[in-house]
Structure 1
């Protein structure tokens, strides 16, 4: 299985999520509270140390008000 942490698509997803959190005016701890996770979970995710699974992406979309299918489509069109 290819490595995904540090992959260009993974990095773009992280940039997107950090941007969306900023646009929502939320600190990591506030996003964590809304996601019902620890702040360290958000920190590891945003630092690229942790993968985002599909269910987490859906929940992030609900909390940060974006369509997960749109970012997945954008990532799918990226080339290596």
Structure 2
């Protein structure tokens, strides 16, 4: 069984977060500063090298000026009913 950080569902979430950051016109450095983390933190989760949890998802979306519930809802709408974990 593949690790969930490499599943299609997890990749979709990362694609959404990267697109959200870019659409907001925010660099990785700016996002890392908003999160109080070093820049490699952002690079590592965007590349799937570091797994993020729901609290980090919330913090990242808020730091990008988005509504976490709305973004998660959009993600949930794009995923199948059954997702490998």
Contact kept in structure 2, 1:13 and 1:71, CA below 8 Å: no
Quote the residue 1:27 is aligned against.
27
1:74 to 57, 74, 77: 77
Task: Report the counterpart of residue 51 of structure 1 in structure 2.
Answer: 51
Structure 1 gap ranges (5+)? none
What is the TM-score normalised by the length of structure 2? 0.80
**TM-score, length-normalised on structure 1?**
0.84
Provide the C-alpha distance between the structure 1 equivalents of 2:37 and 2:74, rounded to a whole number of angstroms.
Answer: 22
Higher relative contact order (CA 8 A, sep 6+): 2
In 2, distance between residues paired with 1:35 and 1:8?
A: 26
Q: Give 4+ residue runs of structure 1 displaced > 6 Å after superposition.
A: none
- C-alpha deviations, 1:24-54, integer Å up to 9, x for none? 1011000000011110000000111111111
Q: How many residues align?
A: 79
